[in-house]
A and B are shown apart, each in its own frame.
Chain A
Amino acid sequence: MNSLCKLSAQEMRQGLLDTEFSAVELASAHLDSIKESNETLNSFITITEDKALAAAKAADTRLSSEKENSPLLCGLPLALKDMLVTKDVETTCGSKILKGFVPPYTGTAVARAEKQGMVVVGKTNMDEFGMGSSSENSAFGPVRNPWDTERIPGGSSGGSAAAVASGQAPLALGTDTGGSIRQPAAMTGIVGLKPTYGRVSRYGAVAYASSCDQVGPFARNIPDLAMLFAAIAGKDPQDATSVAEDVPDYLAEVAEKATSGLAGLKVGVPQEYLVDGLQPDVKSAFESSLGVFEKLGAEIVDVSLPHTEHALATYYIIVPAEASSNLARYDGVRYGHRTAKADTLQELYAKTRGEAFGKEVKRRIMMGSYVLSAGYYDAYYLKAQQVRTLVANDFLAAFTNHCDVIATPVSPCTAFKLGEKTSSPLEMYLADALTVPVSLAGLPALSIPCGLDTQNLPIGLQLIAPAFEESKLLSTGNAFLTEQPFELKPLTSGGQ
């Protein structure tokens, strides 16, 4: 692997400014890296080589004229989850139903990254429409974990996570509905942020469950993550649910607090999250992480989030309901897959959707249609929305009365083997148990690596903050990783 691919985004920035290398060289190095390992990892569905080289060339021009005044991300490679709509570049959502679909527009988050001069190297593989926790539910085959290619990289943004962890891209965007950024970040030993609901525009992020979906960044360290996050955050008039809250200079805030420790910070630990199903080494890594916080001067406090036990069930009512609605548009009429032969309109719909949706997607469409049907709506969807409010209130009470951030494990387990959980959807759903409550509450949460399990697989730590306090998460996470650095082995031990 080209050593350029091992640099942090900040180092790449410096290298570009110092003309040690060009954006075209940087892009080429990453494109080579993708070509080298994609066969193994299957992390990319589409590689946008020509466009990337053209964008890199434009970035070089900009860098040479604007120099230090060019945007921080100018010329830096970026991988995009294939859930993000890109003009003139096939966007599949990991589904056969969108195979060959080339959108006529680019979504807001991607457009903002491109405006900075970022170089999109390709579209990453994922669980179909974001539905899954292992990136195995893809029409384009499963993604493999660069730590151990017999294992899954987490999901649904597994391709983006694997790309960043393996040096295919320094930065990537994913989407998180119930943990789809946090969990793969944890399972691949990188950092990932699910922003506050409304912080990043959803325009051009294909809808899975609209009330939970958020676009967010992946990186290998916190300052890199802060740079990318700052570029995509902020109100968008094309997304009514995006919020007009000021976007702070995340990188500056992280830098400012990098050396000051965490004195005075109250880190809440919800006992409800230390569930029975927690893998023992996940539990011990989490407990030793609390020691790191204490060492940094933070205070650990017990908090209670009493409705946590209902969160997973609530999530699996609300999310499929919205999904069943959002996926109604894939009918074979206007774009994407259409069945070869249908004699009636009804048959066109049934065969198109029957042929092109994967098993998990069908399962969730059926569950969602059921809970929204007349006579069941009140008992399921309406009730779930009420429980959702209780779950959100738990967090609110904890932050108001007890703590500044909440720390939990990201996932009850580390990366499991391909096929290990595919036969049991319920077991797969349990992998989301620690990430979905945050999604229901719409809060920001950061996933950072906090150790390895007995099989040398990364373990993730989740930090949760009140709405729009991503800065607090980033600086806390940065302090932690400065105190207890994490070695990203697929990158450091990868051949030079």
Chain B
Amino acid sequence: MIQYEAVIGLEVHAQLSTGSKIFANSGTEAGREPNTLCDPVTLGLPGALPVLNKRVVDFAIKLGLATNCSITRENEFARKHYFYPDLPKGYQISQYDKPICQHGHLLVRVGGEERRVGITRIHLEEDAGKNVHGEHETTSFIDLNRAGVPLVEIVSEPEIRSPEEAGAYMRQMRQIVRYLDICDGNMEEGSLRCDANISLRKVGTEKLGTKVEIKNLNSFRFVERAIRYEITRQTTVLEQGDEIVQETRLWDEQKASTRSMRSKEYAEDYRYFPDPDLLPIVVDNDWIERIRATLPELPEQVYLRFKKGHQLDDYYCELLTEEKHTARYYDKALEVHHNQTALANWITTELFGRLNKENLGMEECPVSPENLGTLVKLIDEDVISGKIAKTVFDEMFSTGASPNSIVEATGLQQISNRDEIGGIIDEVLTQHPEQIAEFRDGKTKMLGFFVGQIMKRTAGKANPKVVNELLMAKLKGD
């Protein structure tokens, strides 16, 4: 049987989180009353002219530098023409043959392996508005709030080979734009979305097969599932000896399948030409260096620092670097107490658990990194037990208080005093002669019984190490 290989390219659209639109003064917030973020330019009124928001270029350069692109020195905006009700000017201002960034790449990790995926280009463009259907029997509405919101379109080379790789690429892209603070990465609201181009070819051949485009995938899961479905569908078509139709398809999550949206046999002619209303943007070295100086430590760099410097395993590295806030949190906590594994563990289990439960983001975390560092320090210095620490943590999460103050106020300090613990052990042993006999007859699990009794008497505050040590000595010595 013929083996096929998937050839996948992604076009990721990311909304840039500037306060105002790419060519107009209106705001860009999501979720506002329809048509309230409008002005003559956004509405495409006669006589209105676009003026470039330079911050948008800053953001695109930032992304280009973070994805190893070369930055285009002489940029040009072009008009892309098509008629659609959500497109007020009858054209979209985009970039055509002079995109702001070109020839970059990302390193994508899948199943412990790293692959390089090329980035063909990143270009700037304006978003369209939104057609609203179904609110009225015979009328559709248009909301132009989103029209003119700045977008970057990031086009990958067709170098992705599996749904998992596509998902990983997309995740990494989201991670980068969030680290750079240029896009909120909110896929549900459509701030980050992607189109996937998929074709199959016989393994070992170079020639590309006919491609199919799947539009508007707005979750990692959809990206992976849609591509997986499409690979299966195309394989079946080819195995039946049929040909793939070049077309645009839509992912239907309900039916877990893609369906044809329109055939691409007659390629649309967008009649691109340079927008005469906008001057070419010349990006000089100073501009690039000014932006480079603002670049944060990128996820890949943080990952490697945690992995090599902190000897954390991949699992922790990934969790801790997924969000910039988490990595920063971890770094700050480490400044207070340098126990990498323990802090990584606390953050990724207890802290993530509670944040998830309360539906909070890392940036809204009520426990400061300093306080978490202190908590782990208290454990390591035997001031509290690991078990008590969980109680203290709960209190910290609810009140935002420091672990020291909680421990002091509630008397939760660990009892490590050998005399005190020795006395309690003596009491327990005196009261349980039969259990001692059982232990001495070889029932070693009675040890747990004694520890339990001791903990009960100390409300869990006895230092388990000291308890174990003294208990063994006393049981054997007697």
A residues near B, CB below 8 A? 84-85, 91, 93, 98, 101, 103-105, 107, 202-207, 209-211, 237-241, 321-322, 324-325, 327-331, 333-335, 345, 349, 369, 372-374, 377, 381
Please state if A328 and B89 are interface contacts (CB–CB under 8 Å). Answer: yes
The interface stretch among B39-47, B324-332, B419-427 is B39-47
Distance of A75 from chain B, by nearest CB (Å): 26
B269 at the binding interface (Cβ < 8 Å): yes
Please state if A334 and B47 are interface contacts (CB–CB under 8 Å). Answer: no
Please state if A329 and B44 are interface contacts (CB–CB under 8 Å). Answer: yes
Please state if A85 and B47 are interface contacts (CB–CB under 8 Å). Answer: yes
Q: List 8 A-B contacts (CB under 8 A).
A: A103-B40, A107-B47, A207-B46, A327-B90, A328-B89, A329-B90, A333-B142, A372-B272
Please state if B50 and A240 are interface contacts (CB–CB under 8 Å). Answer: yes
Docked pose: A378 CA to B330 CA in angstroms: 56
B228 at the binding interface (Cβ < 8 Å): no
Give the residue of B45, B52, B273 whose beta carbon is less than 8 angstroms from that of A377.
B273
B470 at the binding interface (Cβ < 8 Å): no
Give the residue of B45, B47, B273 whose beta carbon is less than 8 angstroms from that of A205.
B47
Interface residue ranges of B261-276 to A (CB < 8 Å) = 267, 269, 271-273, 276
Distance of B374 from chain A, by nearest CB (Å): 53
Chain B residue numbers with a CB within 8 Å of A205 are 47
Please state if B271 and A373 are interface contacts (CB–CB under 8 Å). Answer: yes
Interface residue ranges of B30-72 to A (CB < 8 Å) = 40, 43-52
A85 in contact with B85 given A240-B52, A328-B91, A372-B273 (CB within 8 Å): no
Chain B residue numbers with a CB within 8 Å of A204 are 47-48
Chain B at the A interface: mostly helix, strand, loop or mixed? loop
B279 at the binding interface (Cβ < 8 Å): yes
- Interface contacts beyond A324-B271, A349-B83: sample of 19 additional A-B pairs, CB < 8 Å, sorted by A: A101-B46, A103-B47, A203-B47, A204-B47, A204-B48, A207-B49, A210-B276, A241-B277, A241-B279, A325-B79, A328-B83, A328-B90, A329-B90, A330-B90, A333-B85, A334-B88, A334-B142, A372-B272, A374-B269
Docked pose: A321 CA to B276 CA in angstroms: 11
Distance of A312 from chain B, by nearest CB (Å): 20
Interface residue ranges of B242-275 to A (CB < 8 Å) = 267, 269, 271-273
Docked pose: A325 CA to B275 CA in angstroms: 10
Among B91, B269, B278, residue most surrounded by chain A Cβ atoms (within 10 Å): B269
Please state if B45 and A103 are interface contacts (CB–CB under 8 Å). Answer: yes
A372 in contact with B279 given A203-B47, A240-B50, A328-B81 (CB within 8 Å): no
Distance of A468 from chain B, by nearest CB (Å): 17
Chain B residue numbers with a CB within 8 Å of A206 are 46-47
Chain A residue numbers with a CB within 8 Å of B90 are 325, 327-331
Please state if B47 and A239 are interface contacts (CB–CB under 8 Å). Answer: no
Nearest CB to that of A327 among chain B residues?
Answer: B90
Please state if B47 and A369 are interface contacts (CB–CB under 8 Å). Answer: no
Distance of B89 from chain A, by nearest CB (Å): 5
**A-B CB pair tally, cutoff 8 Å:** 101
What 1/0 flags go to B129-165 for Cβ under 8 Å of A?
0000000000000100000000000000000000000
Chain B residue numbers with a CB within 8 Å of A369 are 271
Docked pose: A330 CA to B278 CA in angstroms: 21
Please state if B83 and A104 are interface contacts (CB–CB under 8 Å). Answer: no
Chain B residue numbers with a CB within 8 Å of A103 are 40, 45-47
Please state if A372 and B83 are interface contacts (CB–CB under 8 Å). Answer: no
Chain A residue numbers with a CB within 8 Å of B271 are 324-325, 369, 372-374, 377
What 1/0 flags go to B163-180 for Cβ under 8 Å of A?
000000000000000000
Among B49, B81, B83, B279, residue most surrounded by chain A Cβ atoms (within 10 Å): B49
Chain B residue numbers with a CB within 8 Å of A334 are 43-44, 88, 142
Distance of B97 from chain A, by nearest CB (Å): 11
Please state if A203 and B48 are interface contacts (CB–CB under 8 Å). Answer: yes
A345 in contact with B49 given A240-B279, A321-B273, A377-B273 (CB within 8 Å): no
Docked pose: A103 CA to B46 CA in angstroms: 8
Please state if B279 and A325 are interface contacts (CB–CB under 8 Å). Answer: no
A240 in contact with B49 given A322-B276, A325-B81, A334-B43 (CB within 8 Å): yes
Docked pose: A241 CA to B273 CA in angstroms: 17
Please state if A211 and B276 are interface contacts (CB–CB under 8 Å). Answer: yes
What 1/0 flags go to B273-309 for Cβ under 8 Å of A?
1001111000000000000000000000000000000
Nearest CB to that of A324 among chain B residues?
Answer: B271
Docked pose: A372 CA to B279 CA in angstroms: 20
Top-5 shortest CB links A-B: A328-B90, A210-B276, A372-B271, A211-B276, A85-B47
Docked pose: A150 CA to B107 CA in angstroms: 76
Please state if B85 and A91 are interface contacts (CB–CB under 8 Å). Answer: no
Docked pose: A57 CA to B303 CA in angstroms: 72
Please state if B47 and A373 are interface contacts (CB–CB under 8 Å). Answer: no
Please state if A329 and B273 are interface contacts (CB–CB under 8 Å). Answer: no
Docked pose: A331 CA to B277 CA in angstroms: 21
Docked pose: A107 CA to B41 CA in angstroms: 12
Chain B residue numbers with a CB within 8 Å of A241 are 276-277, 279
Interface residue ranges of B73-90 to A (CB < 8 Å) = 79, 81, 83, 85, 88-90
Nearest CB to that of A375 among chain B residues?
Answer: B269
Please state if A202 and B85 are interface contacts (CB–CB under 8 Å). Answer: no
Nearest CB to that of A84 among chain B residues?
Answer: B47
Chain B residue numbers with a CB within 8 Å of A349 are 83
Chain B residue numbers with a CB within 8 Å of A322 are 276
Please state if A381 and B51 are interface contacts (CB–CB under 8 Å). Answer: no
Chain B residue numbers with a CB within 8 Å of A238 are 49, 51
Distance of B286 from chain A, by nearest CB (Å): 20
Give the residue of A209, A239, A325 whose beta carbon is less than 8 angstroms from that of B49.
A239
Chain A residue numbers with a CB within 8 Å of B279 are 240-241
A331 in contact with B46 given A369-B271, A374-B269 (CB within 8 Å): no
A105 in contact with B49 given A372-B271, A372-B273 (CB within 8 Å): no
Among B47, B48, B267, residue most surrounded by chain A Cβ atoms (within 10 Å): B47
Chain A residue numbers with a CB within 8 Å of B267 are 374
A104 in contact with B269 given A331-B83, A345-B85 (CB within 8 Å): no
Docked pose: A309 CA to B43 CA in angstroms: 40
Nearest CB to that of A335 among chain B residues?
Answer: B45
Distance of A184 from chain B, by nearest CB (Å): 21
Nearest CB to that of A91 among chain B residues?
Answer: B46
Interface residue ranges of B1-57 to A (CB < 8 Å) = 40, 43-52
Docked pose: A244 CA to B75 CA in angstroms: 21
A237 in contact with B49 given A325-B79, A329-B89, A333-B142 (CB within 8 Å): no
Nearest CB to that of B274 among chain A residues?
Answer: A385
Docked pose: A107 CA to B45 CA in angstroms: 11
Distance of A104 from chain B, by nearest CB (Å): 7
Nearest CB to that of A211 among chain B residues?
Answer: B276
Distance of B57 from chain A, by nearest CB (Å): 13
Docked pose: A81 CA to B40 CA in angstroms: 20
Chain A residue numbers with a CB within 8 Å of B50 are 240
Nearest CB to that of A203 among chain B residues?
Answer: B49
